[in-house]
């Protein structure tokens, strides 16, 4: 048990999926895992452990933004021995070629700042995904016939961004999409010597203004979860 996670020793699997929304964690666990059981509900941040194809898996909410994810990822790695952490969530597309419901596999994550900035100081650290997971996710997406893109994303530290110039620069430099957590997850994975990946579903097209409804988001996220699980055990 930690300050933010009430699970007992042995109740967290080495493989953890990290959706931001705790209720999405519940949906993933109940939809994709066998015999999921609630192992955490401290502060309403739900975590479940079950099995997928015989493999132990935990699905745990991370909250919104890098500071929140940093809390849960640190405790999952340091106190519960998590070895593979995969963020599964939504993102906004920043390229014309990326459509709603497409999958983005984040090879690297650019950012203005993260909770780790105080440790890294003047270093412009390049947070990157684990290659084995990335390759496994691409293979899984191919096998499912999913439309996917591999490349860089932008982890923003604000949701209501008032920097259109920054978005323009990101788009110009080929950034595929924007979300709010992956850069810190990748940094923590590098620090602790574990594996990390972000598998994202495009819920908003920032170039066209298109967006999925809440119901469509849930129905459209199945590919993302299956790809993440397949990559974890490839």
Q: Is 55 annotated as a binding residue?
A: no
What is the C-alpha to C-alpha distance for residues 83 and 228, in angstroms, rounded to an integer?
A: 14
Alpha helices, H only, the chain: 22-32, 66-80, 117-120, 131-144, 164-172, 182-192, 214-220, 222-232
- The dihedral over CA atoms of 63, 68, 72, 74, expressed in degrees to the nearest 10, equals 150
Q: Is 89 annotated as a binding residue?
A: yes
The backbone torsions φ and ψ at residue 106, rounded to the nearest 5 degrees and listed phi first, read -80, 105
Q: Is 204 annotated as a binding residue?
A: yes
Q: Is 180 annotated as a binding residue?
A: yes
3-class DSSP state for residue 140?
A: helix
3-class DSSP state for residue 190?
A: helix
What is the C-alpha to C-alpha distance for residues 231 and 191, in angstroms, rounded to an integer?
A: 21
Q: Is 156 annotated as a binding residue?
A: no
Q: Is 184 annotated as a binding residue?
A: no
Q: Nearest CA to 231 among 186, 183, 198? A: 198
Choose, from 79, 124, 139, 204, the residue flagged as catalytic: 204
Q: Is 179 annotated as a binding residue?
A: yes
Q: Is 191 annotated as a binding residue?
A: no
Q: Is 173 annotated as a binding residue?
A: no
What is the C-alpha to C-alpha distance for residues 172 and 160, in angstroms, rounded to an integer?
A: 21
Q: Is 60 annotated as a binding residue?
A: no
Q: Is 193 annotated as a binding residue?
A: no
- 204 classed as catalytic: yes
Q: What are 199's strand-pairing partners?
A: 88, 105
DSSP state of 193: T
Q: Is 139 annotated as a binding residue?
A: no
Binding-site residues sit at 4, 20, 24, 43, 87-90, 179-181, 203-204
Binding-site residues for a purine D-ribonucleoside sit at 4, 179-181, 203-204
Query: Which residues are part of the catalytic machinery?
Result: 204
Binding-site residues for phosphate sit at 20, 24, 43, 87-90
């Amino acid at each position: 048990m930690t300050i933010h996670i009430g699970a007992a020793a042995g109740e967290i699997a080495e493989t953890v999926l990290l959706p931001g929304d705790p209720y999405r964690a519940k949906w993933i666990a109940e939809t994709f895992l066998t015999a999921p059981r609630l192992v955490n509900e401290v502060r309403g941040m739900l975590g479940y452990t079950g099995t997928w194809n015989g493999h132990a898996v935990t699905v745990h909410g991370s909250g919104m933004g890098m500071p929140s994810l940093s809390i849960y990822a640190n405790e999952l790695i340091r106190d519960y021995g998590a070895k593979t952490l995969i963020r599964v969530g939504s993102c906004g597309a920043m390229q014309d070629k990326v459509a709603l419901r497409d999958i983005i596999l984040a090879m690297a994550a650019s950012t203005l700042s993260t909770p780790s900035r105080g440790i890294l100081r003047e270093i412009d650290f390049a947070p990157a995904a684990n290659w084995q997971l990335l390759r496994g996710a691409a293979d899984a997406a191919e096998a499912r016939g999913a439309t996917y893109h591999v490349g860089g994303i932008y982890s923003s530290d604000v949701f209501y961004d008032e920097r259109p110039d920054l978005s323009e620069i990101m788009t110009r430099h080929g950034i595929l999409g924007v979300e709010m957590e992956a850069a810190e997850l990748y940094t923590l994975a590098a620090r602790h010597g574990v594996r990390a990946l972000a598998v994202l579903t495009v819920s908003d097209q920032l170039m066209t203004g298109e967006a999925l409804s809440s119901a469509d988001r849930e129905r459209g996220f199945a590919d993302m979860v299956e790809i993440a699980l397949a990559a974890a055990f490839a």
